[in-house]
């Protein structure tokens, strides 16, 4: 998995979640002073579905990265260095996975921190724009906060918690799937080895059946 692969996947997933959650938010009337059940239930279902898809995508990345790592280990030393370097960037690496998580999470995290700092310092010219941007970026995760608080128009402990934690949730889900790569690769290699053994056994049985029996002389 390269940094760009994980970044593109998570950004696309997050954009879809933001659009859908903003649509659900428009169905809620804040004056009703009650939990918006439609947004709560559908928002949580959307988030759980996105986490499951991110995990599955991470598993795909991890398996492919392990295949590339095995390819590098079996490659001829005289291979093209440029091609080898390109493959190495996508080969399985825990450090590369951690860097991908940070690359995805840090932009939203920094914006959330900027909003929190400007709110605490009461920087009037920046509070409102940063609030809107940070709120939109964290929109997929607001349903998690609804049972505890429905306040979004000012900085509270719940709002700060969502802004600080939410940027890491999707990329960490992808990373968790990515870390399954070695186990999936070992399982597929074992299945291939067992398949080859069965094929050889069937081939031996077929050859034995084709061997003509020797005719005994008549007495």
Please write the tens of the pLDDT for every residue from 159-174: 999 999 999 999 999 9
Q: What is the structure's pLDDT at 149?
A: 86
Q: Tell me which of 187 and 89 has the higher pLDDT.
A: 187
- Burial class of residue 38, CB neighbours in 10 A (0-12, 13-18, 19+): exposed
- The reported pTM is 0.80
For tokens 């080969």, name the residue. 91
Q: What is the pLDDT of residue 96?
A: 87
196 located within any domain? no
Q: Within a domain: residue 195?
A: no
Q: How confident is the model at residue 143 (pLDDT cuts 50, 70, 90)?
A: very high
Question: Could you tell me if residue 218 is inside a domain?
Answer: no
Total of domains in the chain: 1
Does pLDDT of 49 surpass 90?
Answer: yes
Percent of the chain with pLDDT over 70: 79
Assigned domain for 186 exists: no
Q: Does residue 130 form part of some domain?
A: yes
Q: What is the pLDDT of residues 58-85, one digit of tens each?
A: 999 998 888 888 877 665 554 556 656 6
Residue 89 reports pLDDT greater than 90: no
For residue 219, pLDDT over 50 is answered with no
Task: Name the residue range of residue 166's domain.
Answer: 3-179
pLDDT value of residue 209? 60
Q: Is residue 25 part of a domain?
A: yes
Please check whether residue 32 is in contact with residue 152, taking contact to mean a CB–CB distance below 8 angstroms.
Answer: no
More confident residue, 87 or 180: 180
State yes or no: pLDDT of 112 exceeds 50. yes
Q: Which of 189, 172, 211 is nearest to 13 (CA)?
A: 172
pLDDT band at 36 (very low <50, low <70, confident <90, very high): confident
pLDDT of 139 > 90? The answer is yes
* CA 129 to chain CA centroid, nearest Å: 29
Evaluate if residue 153 carries a pLDDT over 80: yes
Burial status of residue 143 (CB atoms within 10 A of its CB: 0-12, 13-18, 19 or more): buried
Instruction: Give pLDDT, residue 187.
Output: 87
Identify the pLDDT of residue 172: 95
Query: What is the pLDDT, as a whole number, of residue 198?
Result: 67
Report yes or no on 211 lying in a domain. no
Does residue 35 belong to any structural domain of this protein? yes
Using only C-alpha atoms, the chain has a radius of gyration, in whole angstroms, of 27
Q: At a CB cut-off of 8 Å and minimum separation 6, what does 63 contact?
A: 180, 181, 184, 185, 188
């Amino acid at each position: 998995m390269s940094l760009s692969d994980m970044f593109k996947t998570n950004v696309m997933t997050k954009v879809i979640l933001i659009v859908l959650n903003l649509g659900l938010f428009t169905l809620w009337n804040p004056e009703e002073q009650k939990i918006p059940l439609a947004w709560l239930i559908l928002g949580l279902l959307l988030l759980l579905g996105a986490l499951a898809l991110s995990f599955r995508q991470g598993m795909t990345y991890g398996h492919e990265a392990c295949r590339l790592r095995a390819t590098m280990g079996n490659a001829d030393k005289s291979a093209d260095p440029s091609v080898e370097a390109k493959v190495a960037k996508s080969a399985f690496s825990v450090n590369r996975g951690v860097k991908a998580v940070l690359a995805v999470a840090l932009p939203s995290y920094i914006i959330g921190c900027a909003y929190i700092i400007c709110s605490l310092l009461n920087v009037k010219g920046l509070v409102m724009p940063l609030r809107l941007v940070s709120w939109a970026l964290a929109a997929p995760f607001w349903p998690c906060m609804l049972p505890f608080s429905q306040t979004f128009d000012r900085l509270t402990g719940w709002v700060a918690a969502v802004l600080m934690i939410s940027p890491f949730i999707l990329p960490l889900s992808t990373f968790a799937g990515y870390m399954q790569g070695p186990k999936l690769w070992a399982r597929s290699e074992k299945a291939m080895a067992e398949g080859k053994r069965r094929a050889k056994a069937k081939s031996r049985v077929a050859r034995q059946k084709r061997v003509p029996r020797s005719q005994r002389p008549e007495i």
